[in-house]
Structure 1
Amino acid sequence: MRIRGLKKAFNGRTILNGIDLDVPAGQSTVIIGGSGNGKSLLLRCILGLIEPDAGTIEIDGENIIAASRSRREALLRRIGMLFQNAALFDSMSVLDNILFGLRAKGNDRNKDHAAQEQEALHLLELVGLGPHVAPLNPAELSGGMQKRVGLARALAGQPDILFFDEPTTGLDPIMSAVIDGLISNCVTQLGSTALTITHDMTSVTRIGDHAAMLYGGKIIWQGPAETLMNSGNPIVDQFTHGRLEGPIPTGNLTATPTEKR
């Protein structure tokens, strides 16, 4: 995937101001950046949920923004998405949530219902969940289990590109490691191309081959994930090490607290 000059503004405020990013095929790329810097907006533009104001987004050299509607839909069907809060349908069982993903990708055309269910159960197995979970509703699952079901749905239709929006948010360290391991397996075993946005620096080192930082509407640094914590870029270093002092404004966070009387 290749992104060049991507721009998007809302009500006169520019959020994305010329994004240039290369996402190597068959590898895992991680994007970091502070809240409100446009990381999720970038994913929505790629997914076609929001129309960018300018720029190109290429998949295998084909600009999906300029493509016809039918061609764009065909290209986007190659993408699986794990949303930040799993985004499962509360009114559907776990099984039906995954079946929805299969049908959305058009994988039900030549399969009867029993075959579809077997494929859904296989996807649950891939993320470490047994068939006993299938009839449950999302509200009956822990946060970590919901994320795994969301990942199973994202894998429906065997997409060769996977997006992960803050996949470990709200999870304890052990479950975060489990989710990171599943993401890594998607890349190494399934040969998928992965693009993840996260605030979790531990996740970056566990799942990333490449890393990039979004700041001020642009990608200000990108390189091997293993060099992220020692990038030599003062903005990246302040963010990754959680320092109050540096080029990133912290407002009144550095002010001395008022003494209680």
Structure 2
Amino acid sequence: MTAAPVPKIRIRGLTKAFGPKRVLDGIDLDVPTGTSFVIIGGSGSGKSVLLRCILGLIEPDSGVIEIDGENVLTANAARREVLIERIGMLFQNGALFDSLPVWENVSFGLLAKRGRGNRITRAEARTRAATFLSQVGLDPSVGDLSPSELSGGMQKRVGLARAIASRPEILFFDEPTTGLDPIMGAVIDGLIVDCVKKLGSTAIAITHDMASARRIGDEAAMLYRGKLIWQGRAADLMDSGNPMVDQFTHGRREGPISMELRR
């Protein structure tokens, strides 16, 4: 019998609490290599915390996070850094550095590796930045502008160019269409799909935009109160057969999900 392939990302029993609030409550998740995986859920459901745990920005309380079968949480600091460097990230609000021109934003990660055996000159970094800007539909001349001179859609494209600049094996997308009009949202989603396919990367996106989720996802899951309550094909999100998922994806006021009021 042939052994099942090792998932690119494997999560078991992941928990995280902030004070009395349990944000992640025993998450089990497998993301196969080359899959584009979408996680949906309302505000406060734990989506961003889950991504931050995988990235090493937040230390979970318990559980296992593996990349290609290697536990990130038990690796030493140097090895963990090597594992995390295999991930590219498109942040929700772009997270561009206002003090740097666009080309230097795009090549920031490449330049940051100069002292660790991956030397690259600023001239080489600028040339590579122009290449990646072209891949996301921007003229290389945009590289000379500052982020403040760009529209929201252009900033998202620059953020995507930066995410793919190191040719990562894994790509994370945090609410990639937030703040964009429907047409620009579709453009960004198309670019994400193209970039993921070109790189052959494994991707995880978190979003509450159902059109975006179906455009970029192969598989999908829904988080609710820190638990994965459904997993299936992204194409089935609007007809999942799960009452909670159906209420969320169709935006219905009535259903098993009730809004929690803060006191």
TM-score, with normalisation over the residues of structure 1?
0.93
The match for 1:149 is 158
Find the residue that maps to 1:97 and give its secondary structure: helix
Q: 1:240 is matched with which residue?
A: 249
The within-5 A match list for 1:161-172 is 161-172=170-181
In the alignment, the residues of structure 2 paired with residue 122 and residue 108 of structure 1 have an alpha-carbon distance, to the nearest angstrom, of: 23
1:2 is aligned to 2:10: yes
Q: Which runs of 5+ in 2 are unaligned?
A: 1-8
* Counterpart among 174, 181, 184 of residue 175 in structure 1: 184
> Cα gap change, 1:105/1:181 in structure 2, threshold over 3 Å: closer, same or farther?
farther
1:64 to 57, 68, 72: 72
Q: How many pairs are equivalent?
A: 252
| Match in the other structure for 2:228 | 219
CA RMSD of aligned residues (A): 1.4
1:19 counterpart (24, 27, 30): 27
The C-alpha deviation readout for 1:215-235, integer Å capped at 9, x for no partner, is: 011111001111111111111
Q: Look up the equivalent residue of 2:95 and give its one-letter code.
A: A
Alignment of 1:54-133 (within 5 A): 54-105=62-113, 109-133=118-142
Q: Which of 32, 48, 60 is equivalent to 2:56?
A: 48
Moved over 2 A (4+): 103-113
- Report if the CA contact (8 A) 1:121-1:131 is conserved: yes
Residue in 1 aligned with 2:211? 202
SS for the counterpart of 1:134 is helix
Identity of aligned residues (%): 67
**Superposition TM-score, scaled by structure 2 size:** 0.93
Distance (Å, rounded) in 2 between the aligned partners of 1:226 and 1:196: 15
Out of 187, 190, 196, the residue aligned to residue 187 of structure 1 is: 196
